[in-house]
Amino acid sequence: MNTPKTTAHYVPLKSNISRPGVFFINANASSEALHEAAEQRMRAAANLLETLCCLNFSHGDVKDIPHIIDVLYLLTRDGCDLLEAAKWRVVDEAQPSH
């Protein structure tokens, strides 16, 4: 992300695998909305990790590990991008209007 003055209206998520990206954050959304979206993703990742801690993997398949890692990466990377956008939005909202 860039500083608030140089942030585009729609900022691509860093988890996009293609360029140009296809998934974006609305940088002009309220800081509350951005934070709520970030919290949703971070909480989903934490819930998945808690579930995995409680599982017995004796019948698990090794090929599932990359799938789980992909999900956790997407959730946490997108959550971090949203938190960064929310931070810049708070800074932008705190500046006096012209």
Give the model's pLDDT for residue 80.
97
Q: How far is CA 40 from the centre of its chain?
A: 9
Is residue 68 in some structural domain? yes
Label residue 71 by pLDDT band (50, 70, 90): very high
Is residue 1 in some structural domain? no
Tokens 């931070």 sit on residue = 87
Average per-residue pLDDT for the chain: 89
pTM of the model: 0.84
Is residue 30 in some structural domain? yes
pLDDT tens column, 23-69:
999 999 999 999 999 999 999 999 999 999 988 777 778 888 899 99
Is residue 26 in some structural domain? yes
Give the model's pLDDT for residue 60.
77
Which token pair is 4? 């608030």
Give residue 90's domain range: 10-94
Domains identified in the chain, total number: 1
Is residue 5 in some structural domain? no
The amino acid at residue 68 is I
